[in-house]
Amino acid sequence: MNALEQISKSSMKENVPEINVGDTVKVHVRIQEGDKSRIQVFEGTVIAKKHGGISETFTVRRVAHGVGIERVFPVHSPAVDKVEIVRKGVVRRAKLYYLRGRVGKAAKVKGLVR
Protein backbone atom coordinates (compact mmCIF):
# COMPACT_ATOMS: atom_id res chain seq x y z
CA MET A 1 0.00 0.00 0.00
CA ASN A 2 1.47 3.36 -0.95
CA ALA A 3 1.29 6.54 1.14
CA LEU A 4 -1.68 8.00 -0.77
CA GLU A 5 -3.81 4.92 -0.12
CA GLN A 6 -2.90 4.97 3.58
CA ILE A 7 -3.89 8.63 3.93
CA SER A 8 -7.22 8.02 2.20
CA LYS A 9 -7.94 4.94 4.35
CA SER A 10 -7.17 6.81 7.58
CA SER A 11 -9.41 9.79 6.71
CA MET A 12 -12.44 7.67 5.75
CA LYS A 13 -15.27 7.31 8.28
CA GLU A 14 -15.99 3.84 9.65
CA ASN A 15 -19.67 4.13 10.62
CA VAL A 16 -21.28 5.42 7.42
CA PRO A 17 -25.02 4.63 7.19
CA GLU A 18 -26.32 2.77 4.14
CA ILE A 19 -27.73 5.63 2.06
CA ASN A 20 -29.57 4.76 -1.13
CA VAL A 21 -31.10 6.85 -3.90
CA GLY A 22 -34.74 7.66 -3.07
CA ASP A 23 -34.24 7.77 0.70
CA THR A 24 -35.31 10.79 2.71
CA VAL A 25 -32.44 11.81 4.96
CA LYS A 26 -31.49 14.43 7.53
CA VAL A 27 -27.89 15.57 7.07
CA HIS A 28 -26.35 17.29 10.10
CA VAL A 29 -23.72 19.71 8.76
CA ARG A 30 -21.23 21.64 10.86
CA ILE A 31 -21.29 25.33 9.86
CA GLN A 32 -18.38 27.61 10.81
CA GLU A 33 -19.42 31.25 11.44
CA GLY A 34 -16.49 33.34 12.54
CA ASP A 35 -15.04 31.68 15.64
CA LYS A 36 -18.27 29.79 16.44
CA SER A 37 -19.58 26.57 14.90
CA ARG A 38 -23.09 25.17 14.88
CA ILE A 39 -24.97 22.22 13.44
CA GLN A 40 -27.45 22.83 10.62
CA VAL A 41 -29.89 20.10 9.52
CA PHE A 42 -30.67 19.70 5.82
CA GLU A 43 -33.56 17.30 5.15
CA GLY A 44 -34.47 16.06 1.68
CA THR A 45 -34.50 13.23 -0.83
CA VAL A 46 -31.29 11.61 -2.07
CA ILE A 47 -31.39 12.00 -5.86
CA ALA A 48 -27.88 10.81 -6.76
CA LYS A 49 -24.80 9.00 -5.50
CA LYS A 50 -21.45 9.38 -7.24
CA HIS A 51 -17.94 7.92 -7.21
CA GLY A 52 -16.72 5.66 -4.44
CA GLY A 53 -14.03 5.42 -1.81
CA ILE A 54 -12.74 8.67 -0.33
CA SER A 55 -14.40 10.89 -2.96
CA GLU A 56 -17.91 9.42 -2.61
CA THR A 57 -20.70 12.02 -2.65
CA PHE A 58 -24.48 12.10 -2.49
CA THR A 59 -26.90 14.80 -3.64
CA VAL A 60 -29.89 15.79 -1.50
CA ARG A 61 -32.83 17.78 -2.88
CA ARG A 62 -35.56 19.62 -1.00
CA VAL A 63 -38.15 22.25 -1.89
CA ALA A 64 -38.27 25.30 0.39
CA HIS A 65 -40.76 28.12 -0.28
CA GLY A 66 -41.42 26.80 -3.77
CA VAL A 67 -37.75 26.80 -4.77
CA GLY A 68 -35.78 23.59 -5.25
CA ILE A 69 -32.50 23.39 -3.32
CA GLU A 70 -29.85 20.75 -3.98
CA ARG A 71 -26.70 20.20 -1.98
CA VAL A 72 -23.87 17.79 -2.64
CA PHE A 73 -22.35 16.24 0.46
CA PRO A 74 -19.09 14.27 0.58
CA VAL A 75 -19.73 11.11 2.61
CA HIS A 76 -16.37 11.17 4.40
CA SER A 77 -16.22 14.95 5.03
CA PRO A 78 -15.53 16.07 8.60
CA ALA A 79 -18.14 18.84 8.06
CA VAL A 80 -20.89 16.19 7.80
CA ASP A 81 -21.58 15.36 11.43
CA LYS A 82 -24.12 12.59 10.92
CA VAL A 83 -26.74 11.34 8.47
CA GLU A 84 -30.14 10.11 9.71
CA ILE A 85 -32.38 8.07 7.44
CA VAL A 86 -35.96 9.31 7.88
CA ARG A 87 -37.62 6.92 5.43
CA LYS A 88 -36.61 4.45 2.76
CA GLY A 89 -37.73 5.03 -0.80
CA VAL A 90 -38.40 2.56 -3.60
CA VAL A 91 -37.07 3.73 -6.95
CA ARG A 92 -36.11 2.07 -10.23
CA ARG A 93 -33.44 4.54 -11.30
CA ALA A 94 -29.89 5.28 -10.17
CA LYS A 95 -30.34 9.04 -10.62
CA LEU A 96 -33.58 10.89 -9.88
CA TYR A 97 -32.88 14.05 -11.87
CA TYR A 98 -36.39 13.89 -13.31
CA LEU A 99 -37.72 15.13 -9.94
CA ARG A 100 -36.36 18.57 -10.81
CA GLY A 101 -39.15 19.09 -13.34
CA ARG A 102 -41.94 17.90 -11.08
CA VAL A 103 -44.03 19.88 -8.60
CA GLY A 104 -46.13 18.90 -5.57
CA LYS A 105 -47.20 15.29 -5.14
CA ALA A 106 -45.67 14.33 -8.50
CA ALA A 107 -42.23 14.97 -6.96
CA LYS A 108 -42.77 12.35 -4.21
CA VAL A 109 -40.93 9.03 -4.02
CA LYS A 110 -42.80 5.86 -3.11
CA GLY A 111 -42.06 4.59 0.38
CA LEU A 112 -41.05 1.12 1.47
CA VAL A 113 -43.99 -0.91 2.82
CA ARG A 114 -43.01 -3.32 5.57
Per residue in 27-43, pLDDT tens? 999 999 999 999 999 99
pLDDT value of residue 114: 66
How far is the C-alpha of 106 from the C-alpha of 7, rounded, in Å? 44
Q: Which of 112, 109, 113 is nearest to 44 (CA)?
A: 109
Question: Rounded to a whole number, what is the largest CA-CA distance in the chain?
Answer: 50
Give me the chain's average pLDDT, please: 91
In tens, the pLDDT along 74-109 reads 999 999 999 999 999 999 999 999 999 998 889 889
Cβ 22 vs Cβ 45: under 8 Å: yes
- What pTM does this model have? 0.88
Distance of CA 95 to the CA centre of its chain: 13
- C-alpha triplet 54, 57, 63: angle, nearest 5°: 160
Range 7-21 average pLDDT: 85
Domain ranges of the chain: 7-99
Q: Looking at the chain, how many residues does it have? A: 114
Cβ 56 vs Cβ 76: under 8 Å: yes
pLDDT value of residue 1: 60
How far is the C-alpha of 87 from the C-alpha of 77, rounded, in Å? 23
**CATH architecture under which domain 7-99 falls:** Roll (2.30)
User: What residue spans of 1-114 are helical by DSSP H?
Assistant: 3-11
